[in-house]
Structure 1
Amino acid sequence: MFKSKTFRKMLISITLVCFCFYGIGLFSNLYSRRVLANQIQDTLDSKVRFWEEQLEQEVTSLLLTQSSLTDDSNLLKLHVMWDSMSSYQRNEAIKQFSYRLLNIKVLHGIAASINTYFPERRMVVSADAPILDEYEEDIFEGYEQFYLTEEGDICLTVYFPFYGSPREDKLPHYYIRTTITPYTLQDTLSEMLGEDEGILFLMDAEEGRVLAGSGKKLMEDVAETPVLNAVRKQLTEAEDEEMIHVSEDGFASGCLFPKLGVWLVYCYPDRILEEPLDFFGIFNIALTVLALALLVSYAWYARKSFAKPLDKIMQAMEDFQDKESFLIEEQDRDDRDELTVIYHRYNKIVKKTESLIRENLDSKYRVHIAELRQLQYQIQPHFLYNSIFLIYRMARMDENETMAEYAEHLGKYYQYITRVGNSMVKVRQEISHIENYLAIQETRFGERIRAFLGDTPEEVKDMDIMPLILQPLVENAYEHGMKDCMRNGQIWISMCYESGIFSFTVEDNGPGMSEEELIGVCRKMEEGTIETEEIHAISNTNIRLKLHYGEGSGLTFENREEGGFRVTARILLGEGQNHG
């Protein structure tokens, strides 16, 4: 099977086509996977920005609410009139202010505690308890509004008064601080996430530690989210970036919360992402199997439908030395495909070729016969004998001048037929030979038979033509058409040239032929079975014309309406000439 070069080329071609489609499929697969991944990443980015804006609005609202507390009347009383107030007045002011802090805590669920600190008096008013006796020392360097503790708590603080250039000897009169713990953050993040299948984390910008998450079990959630390792690495390397994207071990998108110095990171579960992406892996496997199956199926089908039939043709062409025929055995099949047609036409071509070979051999044989007859015709002993006897009679009658002219024409006649051989001559040379022949016959027959030669077309005078191809037609008119004519015999010779065809016509006023004779002569002429004795030299001339100038050339015969016979030679000369 693989010995056939054509079959190998077919396999290579289909393999290349399969690989091309396979490559296009893989490229489309990878491109689709990348597009899907980008779409997922864009979705994550949109979601994390939205949630970051929500968180920022919550924190900003909480800060504004804290700032509005600095002008609270009860707070101002506690600060300015503490010493002049009675215990009852102090307790009432503290209770009312604490109740307001409680309302703020309830309104902002993100707040774990809201406390008001009086550093000079070392007391604390809380939303959970009116007065806290314990007061921890605070550092007011920088008067930071946002502060992240080591425990992961986020502190939002409003100072009164606020010093633009903090000094150690100047302490704020009081400050209001809201503490946001991981627990309250978890509730807030979970509420923001809603029914989304992902998970939110709040992470430290400097160390990359997880401060809070939207899940109830933070440590387990961190352990089950491997993409956080890549997130930590990117957070530590991020400098001025406000967004991060991670697609290693899952997908994650993070947005910086600059006020708090933390990152809000949204992670999407691997299992949810891999479900649509797994389709592409399955598609790759299916595409590979399909490509291999197509290749194997095509190889089997090509071997059965193409390789084997081609092998038959090759064997028929190569093993001819041991066979009597080139023909291929054809099988009867209901489905005639192209190869069946090729078998049939191949056998038809073989038969036609064998027929052409036989015809070619037959043509060559006929050519040799025609050449042999031409040689025999050139000798023409009867014409030579008649000419010698005529010279003898003229010598006896003392017709010296006529005898001299006759001898001159006779010499030119035999000079022409003995020198031309098989080489081509000009039309004018052939016509000049006919003129010599007519002069000889005029001397011989005198007034009994008169011949009239028309003008030769100027276009054909210098064209090449086979020698001794026209003169036999004139001689046939003398020997056959005028054979029984005793007086008033006439022969007309005319020529014309049109559309590359040179026509040479010889007519006589002899008895002509009957219809049966004419039909028989034409049929024998087509079959090539006419004998020279029936029409002198005509058959040989017709064979030479057809073999040399093609099927468009040859002789035609007909009876004249006025009586007599007409022979026309049609010869393809000029552009239509075919030296076959």
Structure 2
Amino acid sequence: MLPKPFFQISILPKLLGTFLLIILPLYGISLRIHQIGESNVKKEISLSMSSRIAFYMQTFEAEVGRIKKLQNQYMIDDDIDNLSVIPFTHTLYENMLAQKRIQAKLNVLKSASLYVKEAFVYLPAIKKTIYTNTIDKELPPQQVKELASLSVNQSSPFVYWHNHLYMNVVYPDPHLYGLDPTYIIQVQLDEAQVSAFLNAISNYPDSGAMLFNEEQGWRMKGHPDDPLSDAITEELVGPMPTDSASKTVTVQGQRYLIFSKKSDALNATLVTYVPEKLVLGSLHTYQIWFWVLSVASLLIVVVFSYHIYRVIHAPLRKLVTAFRRLERGDANFEIRHRNRDEFDYLYAQFNSTTSKLKQLISEVYESRIRSQRSELKQLQSQINPHFLYNTYFMIHRMAKAFDVDNLIAASQYLGEYFRFITRNTADEVTLEEEVGHTMAYIRIQMLRYSNRIRTEADELPEDCRDVVVPRLILQPILENAFEHGLKNRSEGGIVKLQFRRLRDRLQIAIEDNGTTLQEERLKWLQDNLQAADDNSETTGIVNVHRRLQLKYDSPYGIEASYGEMGGLRVIITIPARREKE
């Protein structure tokens, strides 16, 4: 039997490993394609939104630039110069005509852009403020100084004053001439139009846009009541780049894509924010389908694994288990397969093989039994004349010597001995009967060799008396000790018979103190005990060993070695099973 490897890998893990080795690279490629596609889509969306917000910022800058250009043109207007510097050189009528012309120009400024709500010119010289539709009184001095002061600190075209956005032109420059201007040209932005402009940037639901200046603290929103603007602004202030950027933030449990564009000309930032699920909605759908594909792939692997287990692994495992049972010597079973496939053929052939094997084993076993029986009968036929001759001569001598007591004992022992030998109806006896026959043989030998050989025999253990053993397994070994081991001893010969119980085994040791055992003879005997065939030369000891191996198999049988007394020591090992067991 071949040794089993330290570890074994069944065919099922190999099949699954091969399947996974094929499907996992494909799945990995699909995952990588999905990631690249998702990255490209996000990049394209980001570029599109960034271009969109940059376009709207450029448009707004152009509008503001046009308004600023008109304001700068009015700084050299003759009517404004005349009324702000030398109004007393003109008549009242001329001054009124100049004021009307200024109103017309302010209307042109107002009409130049949708983002202008109102425009006016404050003229301290005539103590009047000219609007597009009316001419009002002069501004309070505190308000004038406040507007001039805002212009000093102004870093963009806009000033935030009284919760409104204005574009101011103060003449002369307050940086150089203080806070008492000659005139002020002011444009108020239309917040409704700015909000409409911001709303046009983002047309997604729940989205928005705003324009804010971090330094001045003003903010224009597309939806004035949008509650997200404060949270969005907090996310943007500080970490946003100076030019343009995009980022994803989570506000109120929802993810938003934020795109921004910083205008150096306006010193303001234009921001639009869109729910990520709306912009990446189709991409999210692809993600869902990708995960559906992943789950479907996993289910396919599971179903494939279960199918492989049912179709291949389970029948193969059943076949391997059957071979292992057969390897242990159990051939009294059959295996069945429900499907008409290759395993059905293999199972049928296995059953046919085991059937033929059982038949062959039975034939070989019966043949060996018959052979052993013939050997046993031959042994009996050899023993009977041998003992018959020697015993008759011994009885003859006792009769001539009128040794009546020994004559009676010898005849009794001889009768018991030959009654056991000639009883051929049973091939197996209890160990108690076998030991009884052996003791009869020993007593006969003691009558013959009492002056030069003695025998020491242990009592048979009580729990081993019912053990069933083949007939004549002790007497041939004792005969070998008497006839061969001690044949040259004229006195002091000893033969020991010992019993030793080891859990489920019984060891019977027979040892003599003979001096004729050669190393070559012992080696020859040991080799014959280990030989697997029946063609080698046999003796009584080898014959008994093979009979025991035939009945009990390994590791039972006979071992031979030198004994402590210098002669041959033979140990018979048999299972300690009682007859009823």
TM-score normalized by the length of structure 2: 0.50
Structure number with the bigger relative contact order (C-alpha 8 A, sep ≥ 6) is 1
